[in-house]
Amino acid sequence: MNVSFIIPTRNNLPYIKLAYGSIRNYYPNQEIVILDDQSTDGTQEWAWALKKTDTHLKFHINKGRQLGHTVLYDKGVELSSNEVFTIFHADMVCGPNYLENLSKHLKPQTVVSATRIEPPLHPPGKEKIVKDFGTYAEDIKLDDLRLYCETLQQETSNKNVTTKGIFAPWMMYKKDFLAVGGHDKFFAPFPYEDSDIFQRFILKGYTIVQSRDAFVYHFTCRGHRWTEKVQKDDHFYKICCAKNSLHFIRKWGSWIKNDEFSYPIIPHLYDIGFVITNCPSQLLGIMEPWSSNVYCDANREEYINFIQPGTPFDLSKRVRSLSDPKTNQIIVSFDGNHFADRHMKMITDLSQILTESGEIGTMEYDIFKFEISGLKTFENQYVESDSFYQNKLRKTSETDPYVMDELFNIFHQSKPTAV
């Protein structure tokens, strides 16, 4: 089977060299698509030199400013020549039989993940193996890693075994990827674009499989979070997390949830409107992402002007006055003077509460009054109706489609100064 490896990279030359070399060690004739995101560390010179002899290498340079891997993944799929591709991180090392042990489980409308082997830098999980073959590029023990992988592949507990889980690296048919619209560009530059598309894969009805005998070594966080030798999220990554976590909640009405094997749990998306009297701006900022609408007596214009540059969602549609008609199926009313930290758990768990209750009508709980006329759910609309999502967003003409101008402005305005 011919497969294209899709690998975005930015300023991590030692790791992309390892990733490329490990793939070529096992697959000298498979296509590799490297997408450089404005690197200044010699990546571009290195890749251009490789292209002189490697006819199966495609190299794309993002011209302009940094876009992030959310956008470049899709560009890589577009440039790929094969019907099947695998998303591969620049800080991963390919193990033996990687393609063979993924492709034996691949069918149309199926997404197959490999099993990551990682150094002990993060908490363990059932979806990965924690074992140290090097923390940095110069530390990697390639022969030991290869022997370890080959040993695991012969064990009956791993050989031909699958579980349900999804994370990078993963493989699928190009046509199936395009059928869900690819990654959501509004998660650019990163992160959480993976959780968003994984949920859409599941809602589309795709089969999710993890191969327990296809391995990569994953250094973790070297692609866009940690600077070399500093195991700490950089400031730009924190800004991106803040922006995209709110985007995820606004889109899905809940935060990311996975089971013990990292299989996504998708709460229902309901049409919820919060009606808040005595609502300070801070409370409006807390409640707005978790709802379809907020009706309140806060300074709407001030809030929208301040928050709108950082989100593609049209806040003028989301934030309404108390006198506006309440059109949501679920209305939750309360006095902002009585809202305390302990009430936030009810807000974050509201989808689960509504699902488990299934009640229609008027009821009260603590400070909240519920008026529920229906419990229609909308999460499937993200794969069935593009207009459902687009109607929630600002018109493209009003904003950079990646919300990147505003993001970089926020970054530079808030970047800590040296002391």
Indicate if 222 and 279 belong to the same structural domain.
Answer: no
Whether 400 maps to a domain, the answer reads no
Average pLDDT over every residue of 311-325: 96
Indicate if 193 and 287 belong to the same structural domain.
Answer: no
Residue 13 has pLDDT above 50, yes or no: yes
| CATH number of the domain residue 16 falls in | 3.90.550.10
Whether 62 maps to a domain, the answer reads yes
Instruction: Give residue 241's identity as a one-letter amino acid code.
Output: C
Largest CA distance in the chain: 71
Cα separation, 88 vs 139, in Å, equals: 21
Average pLDDT, the chain: 93
Cα separation, 203 vs 205, in Å, equals: 5
Whether 381 maps to a domain, the answer reads no
Which string of b and e fits 238-265 if b means at least 16 CB within 10 Å?
A: ebbeebbebbbbbbbbbebebeebbbbe
Q: How confident is the model at residue 278 (pLDDT cuts 50, 70, 90)?
A: very high
Q: How confident is the model at residue 413 (pLDDT cuts 50, 70, 90)?
A: low
Average pLDDT over every residue of 382-390: 94
Q: How confident is the model at residue 412 (pLDDT cuts 50, 70, 90)?
A: very low
Check if the beta carbon of residue 43 is closer than 8 Å to that of residue 62. Answer: no
Q: pLDDT tens across 331-342, in order?
A: 999 999 999 999
Indicate if 16 and 144 belong to the same structural domain.
Answer: yes
Strand boundaries in 242-292, DSSP class E: 272-277
What are the strands of the beta sheet with 319-321, ordered from one edge?
A: 319-321, 293-296, 272-277, 330-335, 368-372, 361-365
> Could you say which of 341, 356, 376 is where a domain stops?
376
* pLDDT given at position 397: 43
* pLDDT given at position 66: 83
Whether 153 maps to a domain, the answer reads yes
The three-state secondary structure class of 26 is helix
Residue 317 has pLDDT above 50, yes or no: yes
Whether 253 maps to a domain, the answer reads no
Indicate if 282 and 169 belong to the same structural domain.
Answer: no
* pLDDT given at position 384: 93
Average pLDDT over every residue of 307-314: 93
Residue 56 has pLDDT above 80, yes or no: yes
Please state which of the ranges 73-82, 227-236, 308-317 shows the lowest mean pLDDT: 227-236
Identify the DSSP state of 314: -
Torsion region of 282: left, alpha or beta (phi above 0 gives left; psi -120 to 50 gives alpha): alpha
* pLDDT given at position 408: 53
Whether 235 maps to a domain, the answer reads no
Total count of domains within the chain? 2
Residue 415 CB-density burial (10 A; 0-12 exposed, 13-18 middle, 19+ buried): exposed
* pLDDT given at position 409: 56
Indicate if 280 and 219 belong to the same structural domain.
Answer: no
Indicate if 208 and 81 belong to the same structural domain.
Answer: yes
Using alpha carbons, select from 46, 51, 55 the residue that is nearest to residue 15: 46
Q: In sequence order, which residues have a C-beta less than 8 Å from that of residue 282 and are 6 or more positions away?
A: none
Cα separation, 283 vs 18, in Å, equals: 48
Domain span at residue 317?
Answer: 272-376
Whether 202 maps to a domain, the answer reads yes
Indicate if 207 and 278 belong to the same structural domain.
Answer: no
Residue 229 has pLDDT above 90, yes or no: no
Q: How confident is the model at residue 417 (pLDDT cuts 50, 70, 90)?
A: very low
Whether 405 maps to a domain, the answer reads no
Indicate if 207 and 344 belong to the same structural domain.
Answer: no
Indicate if 204 and 321 belong to the same structural domain.
Answer: no
Please state which of the ranges 125-134, 162-171, 222-231, 285-294 shows the lowest mean pLDDT: 222-231
Determine what percent of the chain is predicted with pLDDT higher than 90. 86
Residue 416 has pLDDT above 50, yes or no: no
Average pLDDT over every residue of 2-19: 96
* pLDDT given at position 236: 85
The residues with which 3 forms a beta bridge, in sequence order, are 84
Indicate if 82 and 190 belong to the same structural domain.
Answer: yes
Average pLDDT over every residue of 233-252: 92
> Could you say which of 342, 359, 376 is where a domain stops?
376
* pLDDT given at position 418: 34
Indicate if 214 and 320 belong to the same structural domain.
Answer: no
